[in-house]
Structure 1
Amino acid sequence: MKKMKWALLMVVVLVLAACSTEQPGSKSSSDNEDAGKDGDKEFKIGLSVSTLNNPFFVTLSEGAKEQAKESGAKIIVVDAQDDASKQASDVEDLIQQGVDLLIINPTDSEAVVSAVESANNSNIPVITVDRSAEGGEVVSHIASDNKAGGVLAGEYLLELLGENAKVAELEGIAGSSAARDRGEGFNEAVDGKVDIVAKQTANFNRAEGLTVMENILQANPEITGVFAHNDEMALGALEAIQSAGKDIVVIGFDATDDAVKSVKDGKLAATIAQKPEEIGKKAMEAAVAVLNGEDVDADIPVDLELIKE
């Protein structure tokens, strides 16, 4: 009887072994559900955007999504709606969701520091795009040279208007590195050569650009040129100028689709192209490289171009 039981047990063991097609140490199909490109673990990357109400950042996020798909990574995009407090909350939420890396487009370069430090404390690498953070540990910053773009805008405004012209400057969100650098470059180019009679923020917003420009025109009807820190403000300013029946040179920054069309139509004098889709793609490429243990440059530049008639 004992021999029969032993024989039966051996048969059962052999049958079970034959039914298994996996080799020792191999992964089951369920283990590979999160597999990314080349069978590696799928990386989960969070992207915090300052605002998706601006076409520039919509294009940037689309570039990141496209590259994420190509790289086999998962991307979660959140919209701070130009609110630094909401951005901090969004970043905390992404950390709680267990992202492997954070890409942040700061609403405010100083206010975002606490969010970057929170990610640092959770051992989550941080990459910044377009606007930098003024503190915390950031492994890479991907952006155009905003100061160089401001210089381009200033030099072209001088070419169109000559010296001693009276001009206005529409500034971006106070505290953002983009506004600071673009303004610095522009003022460096035109210093002592034009008279900047008005300098006001319109927060990178088209509607505010319109309202602020209306007020500037009432106080300074002699203005012949405007530099706006982004295209949304430039297009708002252009609307105010057209409503007032004036002919004023307006230069923007970003080369959004609306702005480029306006340049081609002979309305906007120029815009500085900084290729948001490429910024998004390069950010995602850098993110995947970092998570794969590769070294990336601390600063990754994206080329600029003057788009004019």
Structure 2
Amino acid sequence: MPNFIPAPDAGRTASVGRSDRVFAGCGTGAQRPPHRATRLAALALAGTLLLGGCAGAGERASRANGRMDIAVVAKGYASPFWATTKAGAMAAGRDLGVDVTFNGPDTESDVVRQVDQLNLAYAMKPNALVVAALDESASVVALRQFQGKGIPVVAFDSGVPGSNIPETTVSTDNYGSAREAAKHMVELAGGKGELAVLGTSTTSVTGRERRDGFVDYIKENAPEMKIVAIEYNESDQAKAEGQASAILQAHPNLVGMFATDDDGAVAAGQTVARSGKKVIVVGYDSGKVQQDMIRSGQIAGAVTQNPYQMGYRAVVEAVKAAGGEKLPKEIDSGFAWYDAKNMDDPQIREALYD
């Protein structure tokens, strides 16, 4: 059964204003229509926050057009995942009648560029910041600027461990979702054999939690299975293909390979297909190529996040924080297992991205 968390409902506001604007050098991208499930609560928020709930937001609440300004800095910009996240964030801006700026580096390895973008966002004096930190350690100094000026920070996709800066973190339960992937791997492989993990990064809490969720489940529930290799590819598909190929050569008895992101899943599926070996590939996320490979059987299935909902909810929570509302420390944006059998179910389809 899908484990998606129901989204707050929202109603469209009449005025769009600058809610699609972005920082210099970035296009607006295609927009999805707001999900029906995200509309009612946002309408209520628009009334309370924009008509009088912004007390305590200070001078930042005063804009030429009288609207709040929410800055979003993501881990990336052009990839399908972040494009879908952006669509959700922009839809929330339209629904709530606030201005949303969306930015992110070209690649998820460009930590320096993201820190520059955080500094640029700070210079714009937004009412709140939404951030998906590529490297929590490198981001802390930039984020403390916002905290020092009383600008609330909402984290999404991954948090900032050991820091009290984010008011809340809107994210997938990365540890729990990876355990779901491991459960299916055990079922598909019959609970026996050698496994490998293609991870993304050791510096991102997201990557570490997905790795640990999978590995811990196998250790706890599959005594006849063993993790024989873990590699990290920094979301570089070419690098992941090289790693997958080396793993297949070094471990001829391998029965399964789990990838913690879309690039790794595609790389694993393509490498296994070229090798002609019968190795089960389980992925994460849901880009178009990975979806096609699941339909064709090259990948057995994957766990999908709900990036549209993640972006939407992060902006909703940022508006609440800018209005002085206390937020829960963690908000789960949901996940679900999908394969060729269920990927056309409506609840799954709305979370898949192309």
Match of 1:209 among 240, 256, 266: 240
In 2, Cα distance between the equivalents of 1:44 and 1:205? 34
| Greater mean alpha carbon deviation, residues 40-49 or residues 254-263 | 254-263
Alignment of 1:263-302 (within 5 A): 263-302=294-333
The answer to whether the aligner puts 1:182 opposite 2:210 as a matched pair is: yes
Partner of 1:50: 75
Aligned-residue identity in percent: 22
Alignment of 1:211-226 (within 5 A): 211-226=242-257
When normalised by structure 2's length, the TM-score is: 0.73
Partner of 1:64: 89
Alignment of 1:1-309 (within 5 A): 41-80=66-105, 81-82=107-108, 83-134=110-161, 135-191=163-219, 192-309=223-340
Kept in 2: contact 1:88–1:114 (CA 8 A)? no
In 2, Cα distance between the equivalents of 1:122 and 1:295? 18
Deviations 1:105-151 (A, max 9, x none): 11112322222212111221101111111224110100111111111
1:103 CA displacement = 0.5
In 2, Cα distance between the equivalents of 1:230 and 1:242? 18
Kept in 1: contact 2:151–2:322 (CA 8 A)? no
1:163 CA displacement = 2.9
Deviations 1:13-40 (A, max 9, x none): xxxxxxxxxxxxxxxxxxxx999x6675
In 1, Cα distance between the equivalents of 2:287 and 2:96? 26
Unaligned runs of 5+ in 2: 1-16, 20-45, 52-65, 341-354
Deviations 1:230-254 (A, max 9, x none): 1221101111111222222111112
Q: Give runs of ≥4 in structure 1 deviating > 4 Å.
A: 37-40
In 1, Cα distance between the equivalents of 2:138 and 2:131? 12
In 2, Cα distance between the equivalents of 1:49 and 1:299? 18
Kept in 2: contact 1:255–1:307 (CA 8 A)? no
In 1, Cα distance between the equivalents of 2:91 and 2:325? 21
In 1, Cα distance between the equivalents of 2:135 and 2:323? 30
In 2, Cα distance between the equivalents of 1:57 and 1:205? 16
1:221 CA displacement = 2.8
Structure 1 vs Structure 2 CA RMSD: 2.0
In 2, Cα distance between the equivalents of 1:144 and 1:47? 18
Unaligned runs of 5+ in 1: 1-32
In 2, Cα distance between the equivalents of 1:113 and 1:187? 29
Q: SS of 2:166's equivalent?
A: coil
* AA matched with 1:109: E
In 2, Cα distance between the equivalents of 1:303 and 1:49? 18
Q: SS of 2:170's equivalent?
A: strand
1:300 CA displacement = 0.9
Over 3 Å counting, the alpha-carbon distance change for 1:100 and 1:193 in structure 2 is farther
Q: How many residues align?
A: 276
1:53 CA displacement = 4.3
Deviations 1:66-92 (A, max 9, x none): 111121111111113322222111111
Q: SS of 1:111's equivalent?
A: helix
